[in-house]
């Protein structure tokens, strides 16, 4: 299923030099267009004072693998004075590891938690669908763009330019309805993959348990 998803991501989004996807919903026939990322998302800043009590902050995994949470038990050890609130469906980038594809869409579990200044957040505007963008930014071609705007040496020395981030050129459908259909399709596919993986893991656990009981 993961191989199928990878193949569909390549075919349902046009290649860099093309204007039409190989696979498409039949009701959409117009050419896709090239736009700057800053034309379809807007920076959003929800700055608040750093909590004085223990709190949970969000971080972003490399390789477009989503978000994870970190527990801060002693806020006094955190040098920054302010943090930034995240809302569900925010686009979050880790500017120090953007070159390693550290980009994600905030989930329901992330809603209301905070990030540091190293994690700028953005919202899709009326020209785009956030679930469509989720899969667009997960593609390896987008990672290449993030690498190009993250100059410097390895690790934390490679800091992404937030200005250049909004200048990244993407191929997108001008019809939000088409974007929504693509986003919904891949979201459903991801859910199916997750369910299949869980079933496979349960079968493996059952097999292990049975083998242990049979060879006591």
What percent of the chain lies above the pLDDT cut of 70? Answer: 96
The pTM for the full model equals 0.86
Domains, in order of start, for the chain: 1-215 (3.90.220.20)
Is pLDDT at 142 greater than 80 in this prediction? yes
**Tokens found for residue 162:** 């937030």
Query: Which has the higher per-residue pLDDT, 199 or 160?
Result: 160
Name the pLDDT band for 204 (thresholds 50, 70, 90): confident
Secondary structure, 3-state, 149-194: CCCCCCHHHCCCCHHHHCCCEEEECCCHHHHHHHHHHHHHHHHHHH
């Amino acid at each position: 299923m993961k191989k199928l998803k990878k193949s569909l991501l390549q075919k349902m989004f046009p290649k860099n030099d093309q204007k039409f996807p190989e696979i498409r919903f039949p009701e959409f026939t117009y050419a896709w267009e090239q736009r700057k990322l800053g034309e379809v998302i807007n920076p959003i800043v929800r700055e608040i004072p750093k909590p004085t009590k223990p709190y949970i902050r969000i971080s972003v995994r490399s390789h477009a693998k989503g978000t994870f949470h970190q527990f801060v038990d002693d806020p006094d050890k955190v040098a920054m004075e302010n943090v930034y609130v995240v809302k569900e469906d925010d686009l979050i980038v880790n500017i120090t590891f953007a070159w390693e594809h550290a980009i994600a869409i905030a989930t329901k579990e992330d809603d209301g938690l905070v990030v540091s200044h190293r994690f700028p957040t953005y919202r899709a505007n009326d020209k785009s669908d956030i679930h469509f963008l989720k899969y667009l930014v997960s593609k390896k071609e987008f990672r290449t763009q993030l690498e190009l705007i993250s100059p410097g040496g390895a690790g934390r020395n490679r800091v992404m330019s937030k200005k250049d981030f909004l200048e990244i050129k993407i191929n997108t459908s001008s019809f939000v309805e088409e974007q929504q259909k693509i986003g919904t399709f891949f979201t459903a596919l991801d859910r199916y993959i997750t369910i299949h993986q869980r079933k496979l893991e349960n079968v493996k656990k059952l097999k292990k348990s049975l083998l242990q009981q049979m060879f006591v």
